[in-house]
Structure 1
Amino acid sequence: MLKIFMDWYRQRFSDPNVASLIIVIVSLFIVIYFFNQILLPVIVSVVLSYLLDTPVKYLNRKGLPRTLSVIIVLLLFISIVLLSVMILLPLIWQQGVSLVRNIPSMLTFLNQFLTTLPQKFPELIDVGLFDSLIQSIKDKVVQSGNSLLQFSIVSIFSLLSVIINAVLIPIMMFFLLKDKEKIWNYCSKILPKNRTIINKVASEMDKQIGNYIVGSVLHIIILFIFSYVAFWFLGLDYALLLAFIVGVSVIIPYVGIIISTIPVILVALFQWGLSTEFAILIAVYIVIQMLDGNVTVPLLYSEKLNLHPIVIIIAVLIFGGLWGFWGIFFAIPLATLVKAIINAWPKSVQQS
């Protein structure tokens, strides 16, 4: 048995480039897994640097120096973020608090609506089951509302940390954008010498991650704007909050659309009941999602990932369980990383 294992090991891991790749991946996994909270500002800076690298390259190609291009793009980005924080976030937060407070009333309405169903289908539906289910949900919502208020109070004491990160992240972004080549050359010096596969995987992932981050941010913005315009035009309550939820839901592949659809339907049902307005909203929402899946996504994600939906869902579960939000956000690029490693694996090693 030991001989079989040793033969298998020599066949697949005898290449020094493979060993170097495994060492780098394991080292990165250990560092991120155990120090992800400490490194969070660095991770955020890297993500935002990928997002801004495209406009920086564009200005650089137009003849502006790299440093000046970085300063212009960074100042424009900070201005947009500050305007969003001052204008949009307070409105979204206000609508969120209002929605949480109104959820018990909405659930009462839903309970009254569901109690009419046993009259139509007495053999299939038990009204007692609905009563106990709605009451259980009410209790959970009240607890969640109290927790939300407690969180908002506790978060005041972490304001200093937020301010520090708000200063550090733009500074790190500036140097990551300005000295991208220098940083990569420095990192190359500490990597193993046998890094043919590492360079191949790193080159592919640099392109994939850049396209994915830019595509994801644009995807969120476009879906948010179209959803908000539709909700506002139709007069849906909490239009800004619901549009924000719909936009951000694209971060979670496949599952996000289901999660974001539930509050939209519940708010519309509470506001209009089973009426013409409700039917129009649902029809418009379906059209938006169809256009998003068939037009927006193919246009934004120019690089085809060619990943099966099952693979993407498994990646969301695994990496989301390991690293929470950032694991979910990077689930597709991380799944693509695994695919890139398999594709870059030496042919002679695979066929042995």
Structure 2
Amino acid sequence: MLEIFEKWYRRYLFEEEAILLLVLLFIGVVLLMTIGDILAPLLAAIVLAYLMQGVSTQLQNHGVPKWLGVSLSYLLFIGVFFGVTLGLLPLAWRQLMGLASELPAMLDRGRQLLNILPQQYPEIFTVEQINELVGMAQAEAAKLGQFIVTRSLASITSVFTVMVYMILIPILVFFFLRDRELILGWLGGFLPDNRPLLRRIWIEMNLQFANYARGKVIEIIIVGAVSYFAFTWMGLNYAALLGLLVGLSVIIPYIGAVIVTLPVALVGFFQWGFTGEFYTLCVVYLIIQGLDGNVLVPLLFSEAVNLHPVAIILAILFFGGIWGMWGVFFAIPLATLIKAIIYAWPSRDDNLPVQSPLPEMESVKE
């Protein structure tokens, strides 16, 4: 056993940089699992600053001075940030509370509709099955109502937390935008001077994160806005809440669209029943999902992530479990990071002399 481990160690951990990368990955996972909630404002600010850095870079590429590009991108961030936190989220929360208050009436109507099934299909459905199903739905609705009431009673703590976030995040984003080179230089001082493996992975993942994060944010905004205006135009109840859910559903590939279809269909059904408006809603929703998957995604993500669907789902489950919503959001680029590390990891055959694992990176200057 020790001999097998020794051969594996000599083959994959023979370089100092490989060991350093392994330690950094271990520290990152431990921090996310232990104090990820405490570091949430810092992590959110880093992600948002990274997104706005792309806007600043584009402005500078068009001849705008650096200080002006940073200022304009920060002003854009401030407008969007406070518009969402002070406008959209409170509206969606009020609509969620309104939906929760109507759940008992919806369940009663659903019971009336389901009671017809045992009469028409007695060989498939029984009255006991229908009562059990309705009872389970009522229990879940009671849990949801209790959760909303509990969150409402704890609104003082929630408001205080939101105020802290609304103060800390804009301040951190400003300094991350203004002092980006200084901060990266300071962090690079803790790493070895000769780091071709880390540099190669950083260059590849910087491109991957940039394409994915910025494209995903644009996709959320477009899909959410189009859904909201479509639902409002049709007169659908809780249009802001449902539009927000449809927009956020694009974060989770394959699964998000399936999950959010249920509340959209249920709200439309209980509002209109099996009428023309309900079928129109279904058609409009399917058109939005179709245009998102077949038109918007190919335009935004020019560089497709070459990952198997099983790998994507496993990445969503793992990173979502240890990092919450941020882990779900960055599951695909983090999975791509792991794939890049696996392919770039230095290795050697025990029968061959030690060679540089990345000869093409030798020409890269510090």
* Distance of aligned partners of 1:206 and 1:24 in 2 relative to their CA distance in 1, 3 Å threshold: same
Which residue of the partner structure matches residue 147 of structure 1?
147
Q: Give distance in 2, aligned partners of 1:29 and 1:157.
A: 29
- Residue 351 (structure 1) shift: 11
- Residue 206 (structure 1) shift: 1.5
TM-score, normalisation: structure 2: 0.91
TM-score, normalisation: structure 1: 0.94
- Residue 35 (structure 1) shift: 1.9
SS of 2:250's partner is helix
Equivalent residue runs for 1:79-98 within 5 Å = 79-98=79-98
Equivalent residue runs for 1:239-258 within 5 Å = 239-258=239-258
Residues 3-36 of structure 1 show CA distances to partners (whole Å, capped at 9, x for unaligned) of 1221122112212232221122112222232221
Q: Give distance in 1, aligned partners of 2:159 and 2:276.
A: 46
Q: Give distance in 1, aligned partners of 2:107 and 2:332.
A: 36
Which residue identity lines up with residue 46 of structure 1 in the other structure? I
Q: Name structure 2 gaps, 5 residues minimum.
A: 353-366
Which residue identity lines up with residue 114 of structure 1 in the other structure? L
Which residue of the partner structure matches residue 327 of structure 1?
327
Equivalent residue runs for 1:313-352 within 5 Å = 313-346=313-346, 348=348
Equivalent residue runs for 1:268-307 within 5 Å = 268-307=268-307
Which residue of the partner structure matches residue 62 of structure 1?
62
Q: Give distance in 2, aligned partners of 1:14 and 1:30.
A: 24
Contact 2:220 2:247 in 1 (8 A): yes
The answer to whether 1:177 aligns with 2:177 is yes
- Residue 120 (structure 1) shift: 2.2
Which residue identity lines up with residue 228 of structure 1 in the other structure? Y
Which residue of the partner structure matches residue 131 of structure 1?
131
Which residue of the partner structure matches residue 266 of structure 2?
266
The answer to whether 1:228 aligns with 2:219 is no
Task: Tell me the number of residue pairs that the alignment of Structure 1 and Structure 2 aligns.
Answer: 352
Q: What is the aligned-residue identity percentage? A: 43
* Distance of aligned partners of 1:65 and 1:238 in 2 relative to their CA distance in 1, 3 Å threshold: same
Which residue identity lines up with residue 136 of structure 1 in the other structure? M
* Distance of aligned partners of 1:76 and 1:125 in 2 relative to their CA distance in 1, 3 Å threshold: same
Pick which of 160-169 and 141-150 moved more. Answer: 160-169
Measured on the aligned residues, the alpha-carbon RMSD in Å equals: 1.9
Q: Give distance in 1, aligned partners of 2:75 and 2:350.
A: 49
Q: Give distance in 2, aligned partners of 1:64 and 1:105.
A: 58
- Residue 284 (structure 1) shift: 1.6
Residues 214-238 of structure 1 show CA distances to partners (whole Å, capped at 9, x for unaligned) of 1111111111122122212222211
Q: Give distance in 2, aligned partners of 1:82 and 1:159.
A: 15
* Distance of aligned partners of 1:350 and 1:317 in 2 relative to their CA distance in 1, 3 Å threshold: farther
- Residue 162 (structure 1) shift: 2.7
Which residue of the partner structure matches residue 195 of structure 2?
195
Equivalent residue runs for 1:27-38 within 5 Å = 27-38=27-38
* Distance of aligned partners of 1:264 and 1:158 in 2 relative to their CA distance in 1, 3 Å threshold: closer
Pick which of 215-224 and 136-145 moved more. Answer: 136-145
Which residue identity lines up with residue 91 of structure 1 in the other structure? L
Contact 2:51 2:210 in 1 (8 A): yes
Which residue identity lines up with residue 220 of structure 2 in the other structure? I
- Residue 302 (structure 1) shift: 2.0
Contact 1:12 1:349 in 2 (8 A): no
Residues 236-281 of structure 1 show CA distances to partners (whole Å, capped at 9, x for unaligned) of 2112211111111111221111111000111111112122222221
SS of 2:154's partner is helix
Q: Give distance in 2, aligned partners of 1:27 and 1:83.
A: 36
SS of 1:291's partner is helix
* Distance of aligned partners of 1:34 and 1:183 in 2 relative to their CA distance in 1, 3 Å threshold: same
Which residue identity lines up with residue 165 of structure 1 in the other structure? Y
Which of structure 1's runs of 4+ aligned residues deviate more than 4 A? 349-352
Q: Give distance in 2, aligned partners of 1:251 and 1:101.
A: 28
- Residue 98 (structure 1) shift: 0.6
* Distance of aligned partners of 1:322 and 1:86 in 2 relative to their CA distance in 1, 3 Å threshold: closer
SS of 1:14's partner is coil
Pick which of 88-97 and 200-209 moved more. Answer: 88-97
Residues 133-156 of structure 1 show CA distances to partners (whole Å, capped at 9, x for unaligned) of 212221221232122122122131
Q: Name structure 1 gaps, 5 residues minimum.
A: none
Q: Which has the higher helix share?
A: 1
